[in-house]
Structure 1
Amino acid sequence: MQELVAWFLITGLISFHITYSDAQPADVNVIENGANGDGKTDSTRAFNKAWDVACGITGASAKLVVPQGRFLVKQTTFKGPCKAAKIIVELGGTIVAPDTPKAWDGLDAGVWLVFEAVNGMTLDGLGNKGGFNGNGKGWWDQSCRYHPDLVCCTKLAPTSLKFFKSNNLRIKGVNIVQSPQTHVLLFKTDRVTIDSVNIDSPKDSPNTDGIHIQSANGVSISNCKIKNGDDNISIGDHCLNIKINNIECGPGGHGISIGSLGKDGGQVEVRNIHVKNVSFTDTTNGARIKTWQVGKGVVQNVIYEDIKLEACEAPIVIDQNYCAVRGACKEKAGSGVQISDVVFKNFHGTAALAETIQMGCSKSFPCKGITLDAIDLSPAKGVPCKAICTDAHGTEKGTVKPGPCLLAQANEL
């Protein structure tokens, strides 16, 4: 028997699709597949090779091990489905992106690392020992948002981590820093848990959303720290059953936002969003819902509660006339996304702008079922706080400061 196995090894006829016992995952180390942790050597092929081996293992689980070190990996996609019922990516080190946009020449400049059609995966940073560095400065320096005069300015920059058509994911204890654009994108994913992830980019870095969720169901985000230059967490079209808990936002970021929704006039469905126990420090917004006038559909059953704010510019915002240029998109009759059954409860802290509560709803589709409950917001810079509400109907409970703001419930008119 030993002679037969030796013959197969020599002739190369043994496949990577090896079956292991269910007792423990089979380890596949990237260094053993040619990776170098010096931060300079291109390890892209080695990571792809290691992924193919781990993904091809048949059994209960397989583990892709990234040990201590800094591993340079260029734009690539890790594709499934995998043979293993579960696949673990264990990050003891840091995966580093190229430090120049030129490294994307001939590649997809919209992404850095993609996990596609991978089900049952855990991405484990071993208690924030490991993670990803997107080396975003080169992209920020040529961003059209801040440098429209540059001949080579660009609106497109890579998302660091994209999870596409992948379900039953767990991302825990990972550091994700210096992303060229969005740090984490969940697109067409179901049943995802993100826990104890640290996201860190400068507050003036353009379009660096922390976590963006699009076309997803059953996402839980908890115990995360997010410092960045755009929405700390953003929820896009077609998102259901999203839970966000115990998040530190800032300094920097545009809050936890629903939207913007319906930009191209498509159908919108966002339901059952629960945001709880969040702090906003030196952010431009806190709780925000933003929709384009041309959109259709619904935003329904949303709760923001137990929110602490420190020098947050605008703690509560609903904007149904959202526009690329603020204030440039005027009211449009006959269209809009219906926003209803939204609760803002137990907000305490300071606001940096006078317009502390802003609700600009649509005349055609006024906001209804809005609740302001136990709101106590004071000025951070001595400018009196005020609430401005247009076509927003609902109920105010307990202390609402600043206020009053809401109109009577629409069904009481």
Structure 2
Amino acid sequence: VVEGGDECVSVKSPSDGVTVKDVTCIKTDGCSLGSMGPAARDYSINNVRFENISLTDASNGIIVKSYNDAQGAINNLTCINFTLTRVAYAIKLDSSWGNTKWDQTRFRQKRALAGQRWTNFQFISFHGTTSGPRPVVTLNCDQKGRCTGLVFKDIQVTGTNMPKPKFVAACGTYDSVSSEAVGSLRAC
């Protein structure tokens, strides 16, 4: 059990072959990969598995986060059996995390030149509730490197006044159970 503070579990670069299993997170920022800061060059995170994770009153279920001018790759992330209770963002990929809205606009072209590759992410069996009017899935991927090979299965997360998912530069597949949460993700 991890209670309070920043992230519950955070995987940083360089990492390969990390498994996080049977963890309960209460009042944390959730589970994360990153952040990869603005000076990150050639960051590398591979073969990470989160399994049987329970989060209550958290900012995120799982978040992959980097600044928009970081460079590198994340490959093979598996997140399975997440139980969420009042979590702000269930699944969030954000390649411009940590930047203000002004910074995001200013660095949009720079980000397109940087290149972040996030591939082969699986999100399987997410159940529970969000804490407010936010999409279940938010994918803000690098427009050059993109997020490819995303798989969503058995996503059953509910909340109040939830807007539609927001996708930038992402593609993948989802099953019929997840269609309400992930509805408009385009195929790769």
- Which consecutive segments of 4 or more residues in structure 1 shift more than 6 A? none
* 2-structure distance, mates of 1:329, 1:278: 31
* 2-structure distance, mates of 1:289, 1:277: 18
Q: How does 1:305-320 map to 2 (within 5 A)?
A: 305-320=80-95
What is the Cα-based RMSD across aligned positions, in Å?
A: 1.5
**Cα offset for 1:265?**
3.6
Equivalent residue number for residue 263 of structure 1? 38
1:286-329 residue CA offsets vs partner (Å, 9 max, x unmatched) = 11101122222210000001010011010100001122446732
**Cα offset for 1:355?**
2.1
Q: How does 1:32-47 map to 2 (within 5 A)?
A: none
Select the residue among 261, 271, 281 that pairs with 2:56. Answer: 281
Residues 1:373 and 2:153 aligned together: yes
Equivalent residue number for residue 240 of structure 1? 16
> 8 Å contact 1:231–1:256 — kept in the other structure?
yes
Letter in 1 for 2:146: P
> 8 Å contact 1:292–1:336 — kept in the other structure?
no
Gaps of at least 5 residues in structure 2 are none
* 1-structure distance, mates of 2:57, 2:40: 33
Gaps of at least 5 residues in structure 1 are 1-224
> Aligned residues, how many?
182
> 8 Å contact 1:291–1:337 — kept in the other structure?
no
Residues 328 and 229 of structure 1, relative CA distance in 2, 3 Å threshold: farther
**Cα offset for 1:235?**
1.1
Residues 1:227 and 2:7 aligned together: no
Q: How does 1:354-369 map to 2 (within 5 A)?
A: 354-369=134-149
**Cα offset for 1:337?**
1.7
> 8 Å contact 2:116–2:146 — kept in the other structure?
no
**Cα offset for 1:398?**
3.2
**Cα offset for 1:388?**
1.1
Q: How does 1:194-205 map to 2 (within 5 A)?
A: none
* 2-structure distance, mates of 1:284, 1:312: 6
* 1-structure distance, mates of 2:65, 2:19: 19
Q: Who wins on radius of gyration, i.e. which is larger?
A: 1
* 1-structure distance, mates of 2:2, 2:33: 17
Three-state SS of the structure 1 residue aligned to 2:165 is: strand
Of Structure 1 and Structure 2, the greater strand share is in 2
Three-state SS of the structure 2 residue aligned to 1:328 is: helix
Letter in 1 for 2:12: G
TM-score of the two chains, using structure 2 as the length reference = 0.91
> 8 Å contact 1:361–1:392 — kept in the other structure?
yes
Equivalent residue number for residue 344 of structure 1? 123
Instruction: Report the identity percentage.
Output: 21
Q: How does 1:8-407 map to 2 (within 5 A)?
A: 225-250=1-26, 252-325=27-100, 328-330=103-105, 331=108, 332-353=111-132, 354-379=134-159, 382-400=160-178, 401-407=180-186
Equivalent residue number for residue 187 of structure 2? 408
Residues 293 and 283 of structure 1, relative CA distance in 2, 3 Å threshold: same
